[in-house]
Amino acid sequence: MKTIFTLFSISLICFSAALAQRQNELPDNVKQILFLGNSITYSGEYIAFVETFYRLQHPESSIEWLNLGLPSETVSGLSEEGHAGGAFPRPDLHERLDRIFAQIKPDFVFVNYGMNDGIYLPYDSARFAKYAAGMRWLDSKIKAINAKPVFLTPPIYDPAKGIPYSITLDLYTSWLIDQEKESNWKVIDIHFPMKAYLEAQRKIEPAYFLAKDGVHPNSTGHWLMARSILEFLGLGEMDSEGTFEERISNYPKGMELFILISQKQKILRDTYLTATGHLRPGLPEGLPLTEAKEKAESLENQIRDLLVNN
């Protein structure tokens, strides 16, 4: 059985690698892009990488990149027994999405769910059906506000932490990739490129990892995620060995730009999470919306100055 799973996993990686990320340059009239997801999106590093690199290539761009990821969240509505030591169940995007869209009118919504949706158990068809139904529901809700959904496959769960759940996310990813043809969805595969990278590195250094806990990617993992998004957005094929720092090294103020963009995204993230409401305890309260927008605009002015003088 283990051999079958191994061969199946390898075949999925090869299949995914054969699918070139279709390039989709953003139209000129795009004003706002929203990211929804769980704690990996909430941490936001891959989103800051994307905005930084995009704006270095398009310094005239005025697109607003918003991060409303929520730690622990699912789109399946599932929660394992005793989650967070029994302190609270996993939040469900169904509970807050209408409030988000009442305040925010994005042109594109990038969706990154799946890591929590199988609740860290071996594959089960009933749990998968909840995930698939949640993704279809989300697709319809995004289109209902005349926005364009873009689905990111789940990041990998490190097989070293548990092969059964790693296989679960392989299967969730394969289904989501299939929706590109079956449902005409826009899909960016971040899962299998991350898996291929991890396997290649472990041939050199067996103890190598992209996520120390098996779930939350480090900076290299976030850059791998960002690379796939940037390729999808038409910024060309990224060097598989190049780090984010190496890719922006030709821009003297590139890292300063990244820091300012990260600060701006976090201010707006905390403010909009507070303003739209959620059921996840333990998060910092955001600034009042007016104050947050003033701080974000001040940072944006610094960002534009750097882009002009870079």
- Tell me what pLDDT residue 24 has: 73
Average pLDDT over residues 187-211: 97
- Tell me what pLDDT residue 23 has: 60
**How many CA atoms within 13 Å lie on the side-chain side of 79?**
18
Domains and CATH numbers, the chain: 30-309 (3.40.50.1110)
**In this predicted model, what pLDDT tens digit does every residue of 119-130 receive, in sequence order?**
999 999 999 999
Mean confidence (pLDDT) of the chain: 92
Mean pLDDT check: name the lowest of 103-107, 195-199, 203-207, 251-255.
251-255
Instruction: Label residue 7 by pLDDT band (50, 70, 90).
Output: very low
Whether residue 302 has pLDDT greater than 80: yes
- Tell me what pLDDT residue 3 has: 35
Whether residue 163 has pLDDT greater than 80: yes
- 219 burial type by CB count under 10 A (0-12 exposed, 13-18 middle, 19+ buried): middle
Whether residue 9 has pLDDT greater than 60: no
**In this predicted model, what pLDDT tens digit does every residue of 28-37 receive, in sequence order?**
899 999 999 9
Kind and range of the H or E element at 67? strand 64-67
CA–CA gap between residue 91 and residue 70 (Å, rounded): 8
Average pLDDT over residues 280-304: 97
- Tell me what pLDDT residue 204 has: 97
Q: What are phi and psi of 294, to 5 degrees?
A: -65, -45
- Tell me what pLDDT residue 242 has: 79
**In this predicted model, what pLDDT tens digit does every residue of 12-71 receive, in sequence order?**
444 444 444 456 778 889 999 999 999 999 999 999 999 999 999 999 999 999 999 999
Q: What is the pTM of this model?
A: 0.92
Average pLDDT over residues 130-142: 98
CA–CA gap between residue 157 and residue 162 (Å, rounded): 8
The DSSP bridge pattern shows strands 64-67 and 108-112 to be: unpaired
Percent of the chain exceeding pLDDT 90 equals 84
- Tell me what pLDDT residue 25 has: 76
**In this predicted model, what pLDDT tens digit does every residue of 228-253 receive, in sequence order?**
999 999 886 666 667 899 988 889 89
The answer to whether the beta carbons of residues 221 and 169 sit under 8 Å apart is: no
The residue among 180, 172, 159, 177 whose CA lies nearest residue 117 is: 172
Whether residue 181 has pLDDT greater than 90: yes
The answer to whether the beta carbons of residues 66 and 35 sit under 8 Å apart is: yes
CA 113 to chain CA centroid, Å, is 8
Residues in the chain: 310
- Tell me what pLDDT residue 91 has: 98
